[in-house]
Amino acid sequence: MKITPILATAIALAVAGPALVRAQPAAATVTIDNFAFDAQTVTVAPGATVTWVNNDDAPHTVVADDGKSFRSKVLDTGEKFSFTFMSAGTFGYFCSIHPHMVGKVVVKAP
């Protein structure tokens, strides 16, 4: 049997299996510190939950750019807010108290 470059690639993929595919996380955490979201962009799979944790000395919020998809209460130091993203897309958000603080969640299938 002659192994062509295409067949060799197919064999390599079959042997390597999932190691070549990066799975999107089922959950992610964004810390709020020093008047910034860290990480500013997170990528997760549909059905994943993102949790924001306020580690800053000031209160903050997490509000979807559209104003209605998700909205936290005012988070004091140490408080958390979680939201589960069910559909694919890019979801921008900001702090309504400090609008210069922005971030985004990218939801895509692995």
Residue 9 lies in a domain: no
> 94: domain CATH number?
2.60.40.420
Is residue 14 situated within a structural domain? Answer: no
Between 71 and 9, residue with greater pLDDT: 71
Closest Cα partner for 97 from 62, 57, 53, 50?
62
Distance CA 16, CA 41 (A): 29
- 7 found inside a domain: no
Q: Is residue 55 part of a domain?
A: yes
Is pLDDT of 21 > 50?
no
Percent of the chain at pLDDT exceeding 70: 78
Which domain, by its residues, includes 76?
Answer: 22-107
Query: Is 35 part of any domain?
Result: yes
Predicted confidence (pLDDT) at residue 33 exceeds the cutoff of 50: yes
Q: How does strand 41-44 pair with strand 102-107?
A: parallel
Tokens of 35: 């008047």
User: pLDDT class for 10, splitting at 50, 70, 90?
Assistant: very low
- How many distinct structural domains can be found in the chain? 1
Is the sign of the CA dihedral 23, 24, 27, 33 positive or negative?
positive
Question: Per residue in 49-91, pLDDT tens?
Answer: 999 999 999 999 999 999 999 999 999 999 999 999 999 999 9
Strands 48-54 and 80-85: antiparallel
pTM of the model: 0.78
Considering the domain boundaries, does residue 6 fall inside one? no
